[in-house]
Amino acid sequence: MTDMTGKVVLITGASRGIGAEAARVFAAAGANVALVARSNEVLAGLAGEIGEAALAIPCDISRYWEMQAAVSATVQAFGKLDVLVNNAGVVDPISHMAEADPEAWGQVIDVNLKGVFHGMRAALPVMLDQGGGTILTVSSGAAHGPVEAWSAYCASKAGAAMLTRSLDKEYAHLGIRAMGLSPGTVQTEMQRVIKKSGINPVSKLEWDDHIPADWPARALLWMCGVEADEFEGKEVSLRDEEIRRKVGLIE
């Protein structure tokens, strides 16, 4: 396990799924964790579970000023920011383009794309002033190929993947490690929403076809170590058995 003693990690979408598991994994590795999400009560419960190493920050990442305030609160509480995990994401509306609600479609972009940018923009001045940092963004296979009725999700994830590449190009020489994680399908609430839609092959998968949420959480921790340096500016795919082996998920 990568030792994160003394490190400070901010995780968006931390109230459930991959984000909640990442909070537990990073805290177990010794990190102080700032937990960001809109779900106040659930977030407070998770922070209480983790203890003094956790800070709950209610925040809507689609609003830049809220994300900026979350970063400021993190630095005020823990003194710095070493790692940002851009995990928050939504898949609704699942609908064909001719029937999609434009307002709801735009909200996916606000969270999945603008929210990622907001995290990067808020964290960068702090990290650059410190001399470096790691920014990890949860990506998806949908960033690289169309999926029926997921136009907003695919477009937003493709944009977020390009943000990671842009971040690496602009700031790698200043100590910023930017990477994406493509986890495949994961046992989270999002998969229940997808299942309920009944549209496209992903909705036909059974619960046991998905990997547990702690797998991508453990991969995110591994990505903070020097072993993952070769993936700077790129994506780590948990569909790759060699990656699963390096992370310690399989033998």
Mind telling me the catalytic residues?
A: 139, 153, 157
Q: Are 3 and 74 in contact (CB under 8 A)?
A: no
Distance CA 77, CA 52 (A): 11
- Strand ranges for 173-243 from DSSP E: 176-182, 235-237
| Residue 44 Cα to chain centre, angstroms | 19
Burial zone of 177 (CB within 10 Å; 0-12 exposed, 13-18 middle, 19+ buried): buried
User: What CA–CA distance (Å, rounded) separates 163 from 119?
Assistant: 11
In the three-class reduction of DSSP (H, G, I as helix; E, B as strand; rest coil), residue 179 is classed as strand
* Owner of token pair 């960068």: 124
CB distance 82 to 134 below 8 Å: yes
